[in-house]
A = this chain, B = another copy of it.
Amino acid sequence: MTSSEVEIPVVAFEPGRWGDPAAPMHLSDSVRGALTMLGIDGTEPPRAAPSIAPGRADADALAALRATGAGVADDDEARRRHLRGYSTPDLLKFRAGDGTDAPDVVVTPDAADQVAAVLAVCVERGLTLSPFAGGTSVTGGLAPERARPVVALDLRGLTGLLDLDETSQVATFAAGTRLPEAERLLGERGFELGHFPQSYEGATIGGCAVTRSAGQSSIGYGRFDEMVVGLSIATPLGAAEIGTAPKSAAGPDLRQLFLGSEGALGVVTAVRVRVHPVPAVRRFYGWRFPDFAAGAAAMRVLAQGSVRPTVLRLSDEAETGLNLANPGAAGQAAVGGCLMIAGFEGDEVDVDCRDGYVSARLVELGGAFLGEEPGEAWRAGRFRGPYLRDPLLDVGALVETLETVTFWSNLERLKADVTAAITGALGDQGTPAVVMCHISHVYPTGASLYFTVISKALDDPLAQWGRAKEAANAAIRAAGASITHHHAVGTDHRSTYLQEIGDVQLTALRAVKDALDPQGVLNPGILLP
């Protein structure tokens, strides 16, 4: 079948609730029934509207910010709309009426030179600058230290396709362009980006760059950090254009210093990124494997070979049993075993070639072909999973996700250890947990693991989850895996991240930070302490 993703509208998420407000999800009776097994009885926890304290930016600062030409707002509503991101702790704080992390002022530039001017004002006046891209952080990436007044720099006014080099298949986007808008603009020219993180509806091009986003087609089109060929960055020292050629041996690849820098080293204002022609053919299949080990081994064979699908993911037994790969049918009868999705995009001959090879290998490796229906169901619901969280919180469940990445030889151990850490930490609090897992990103040498946790919420769900998260982080570190595969560091992963990189690397990174941002204006506390 042929289709495009451009029908996805550019929507504004409401603060405190994930996704398109016009398209909420509701829990089915089968999900509600399943929840009772965890002791979740459907009682809604108490809620309060977030209380926003008066902004701390003084009149001179506001005037200086206004003089840049950017929009400036310090009303409660604007600040509430830039209050944290969408981790479960963020949502729980929002529901508890905690508005303490609200920025003091919200600035909305619509040109790169305004970004530079705002940055200069912040340097001059000792204000903290916190870039706000899609606002979909799930790691505390929008809650910098608050020692100084915080300016949230909402980049979504920097939008548009600035250039398309059709020969090189390189598009230049303003950093605040949201992914659905990027696909719409490219689609008009016959191209697409093909970058589909679950936050697709809200995420921006610049946000994907600074957090090293990974999309559902990563085996086909690469991670976002692999797709980026160049960045335009505003820093307190001035602007920089980074990335001269696709690949180069001219020193360290400094793109890779700013990719993943989470607003701590500069503000990305434009991104040059690899694109491809809109595929003539898209085919998505379901496969059933008897167990997770067999499915993971099959993924490894494909990832280590030369002929690959465009999309490849595998749900474990628990996730398959709950139908989480098809959120609209969650809780309904599942296929059993472990569900794999393998998708192909390209021209007819290329897809035939890859489909033929991959399907034959999957049969050899123990897969049972389920046809296009499960593949298309997954594709139709590919951004809907996170929509289940809010209605689950509404009925007294505690729900969160976390993710990590390691080498293939360590994957089973990592999965077992993280699962045990979470179930142990929640079980110790009297709340047994269901922990589900999938592999959504594979490489020749390893793969990511994405966990979804459901338990009954206690009266202090923040503290309850905090203990589980801490146990999971410790298990990830002990297993020698990375604290994040695509959610980034923010504030939530910072301490584990520092253990992961060690003193020498921290010294190098801190030196760059101090050299480019000597006043420490940019996102203090995000990524680096």
Contacts and interface: CB of A to CB of B under 8 A. Distances in A.
B237 A504 contact: yes
Closest 4 CB pairs of A and B: A511-B515, A256-B256, A240-B504, A212-B249
A26 interface: no
Nearest to A483: B250
A290 interface: no
A257 interface: yes
Number of this chain's copies in the assembly equals 2
Contacts of A249: 211-214, 260, 482, 484-489
B445 A505 contact: no
B350 A307 contact: yes
A274 B444 contact: yes
B211 A250 contact: no
A360 B241 CA distance: 40
Nearest to A505: B254
Interface of A: 165, 167-170, 211-214, 220, 223, 225, 229, 233, 235, 237-242, 244-262, 265, 274, 276, 300, 304-308, 310, 346, 349-350, 353-354, 356-357, 360, 404-410, 441, 443-447, 480-489, 493, 497, 500-505, 507-512, 514-516, 527
Contacts of A504: 233, 235, 237-240, 516
B253 A170 contact: no
Nearest to A242: B505
Given A260-B249, A409-B165, A480-B244, A512 B508 contact: yes
A211 B300 CA distance: 30
A480 to B, nearest CB: 7
A500 B240 CA distance: 11
A283 to B, nearest CB: 13
B489 A257 contact: no
Given A167-B408, A252-B257, A307-B307, 11 more contacts: A167-B407, A213-B249, A244-B482, A245-B485, A247-B441, A249-B482, A250-B260, A250-B483, A251-B489, A350-B357, A510-B515
A501 B244 CA distance: 8
A257 B260 contact: no
Contact of A507 (B237, B274, B505, B510): B237
Contact of A251 (B168, B407, B486, B527): B527
Contact of A407 (B170, B404, B405, B407): B170
Nearest to A497: B250
Contacts of A480: 244
A363 B372 CA distance: 33
B497 A443 contact: no
A128 to B, nearest CB: 20
A369 to B, nearest CB: 18
B240 A505 contact: yes
B408 A489 contact: no
A260 B252 contact: yes
B259 A253 contact: yes
Given A169-B445, A305-B346, A247 B259 contact: no
